[in-house]
Amino acid sequence: MNKSPVSISLSSYGAELVRQRGQLSFVALLAAAGADRIELREELLTHEVAAEVALAIEHSGLGCVYSSPLELWRADQAEPNPELASTLLRAQAFGARWLKVSLGYFTDNNDLRALSRQLSQSPVQLLVENDQTLHGGCIEPFQRFFTAVEEHALPVQMTFDIGNWQWQDQSAASAARLLGRHVGYVHCKAVLRRADGKRVAVPPSPSDLQEWEQHLQHMTQRVMRAVEYPLQGEDLVQLTAEHVATLARLGQARLESAHV
């Protein structure tokens, strides 16, 4: 039976460990754990050589997502972020098929034709994520952005971060219903509010997994999904394998019942 592809965001292992070990060292770990994709994190890069990482990923059989904190649209600028072109090249150099960025300050005055020209020059698929900011973490700007994406027939999909909606008190269920057809990648994380009021990402409870199942009903079957919550333990291969299996099963019951 075809399982849904699962990615691991390397931020899940903690910034300190990832910077200490280097992102190249996690390629073999993810392959051994049965992951399908690796999500490299630009903000955690240290001394990695892009060509070496790309070669290791290719040999491992993993696919690659390159995550950048870049905002696609800057405030008061009609054209895309001028750093987009170099970021697309960097993602390609690391062997990535996808580049994940944040939406930024999208308005109806943004130049979608300029974005189209840039994307036509790159084989890397652009994924635009809801982040935790007021301007990039609310449903309505994404509705307007993807309406424009459709009008211009742009090769852009959404990274739907389930947990990030909570930072702006948005309903993930409503977001899934309104934006689900645009989603090409799902960032999975549960969120806990600590005693000091700060929200933090945590592994999912059974009830979280049930909610995620509901969100996935509004998205393409077997949409790529990722662990983006803490993976901490003595045996990282075994721990990662367990969470890969859990996420791969999400939505499977619906697919099986549809074929009965």
Cα separation values, 186 from 146, 180, 212, 216, 248, Å: 16, 10, 10, 9, 12
Query: What is residue 260's predicted lDDT score, i.e. its pLDDT?
Result: 44
pLDDT band for position 255 (cuts 50, 70, 90): low
Residue 6, strand partner residues: 225
The reply to whether 83 falls in a domain is yes
- Let me know if residue 107 belongs to a domain: yes
- What is the span of the domain harbouring residue 143? 6-258
Q: Is 116 inside a domain boundary?
A: yes
pLDDT computed for residue 254 by the predictor: 58
Residue 258, pLDDT > 90, answer: no
CA angle 156, 223, 254 (to 5 degrees): 145
> What mean pLDDT, rounded, does the chain reach?
95
**192 part of a folded domain:** yes
pLDDT: which is higher, 260 or 194:
194
In this prediction, residue 252 carries a pLDDT of 76
In a domain, 224, yes or no: yes
For residue 1, tell me if it sits in a domain: no
Q: Which residue has the tokens 């929200």?
A: 199
Q: What is the CATH number of the domain that holds 82?
A: 3.20.20.150
Q: Can you give the pTM of this predicted structure?
A: 0.95
Number of domains in the chain: 1
Residue type, 19: R
pLDDT digits (tens, 9 = 90+) for 137-165: 999 999 999 999 999 999 999 999 999 99
**pLDDT band, residue 83 (cuts 50/70/90):** very high
Provide the pLDDT for residue 3.
85
Query: Which H, E and C letters describe 16-81, residue by residue?
Result: HHHHHHCHHHHHHHHHHCCCCEEEEEHHHCCCCCHHHHHHHHHHHCCEEEEEEEEEEECCCCCCCC
End-to-end alpha carbon distance in the chain: 14
pLDDT (tens digit per residue) in 16-64: 999 999 999 999 999 999 999 999 999 999 999 999 999 999 999 999 9
Within a domain: 101: yes
Tokens 């999904």, located at residue? 225
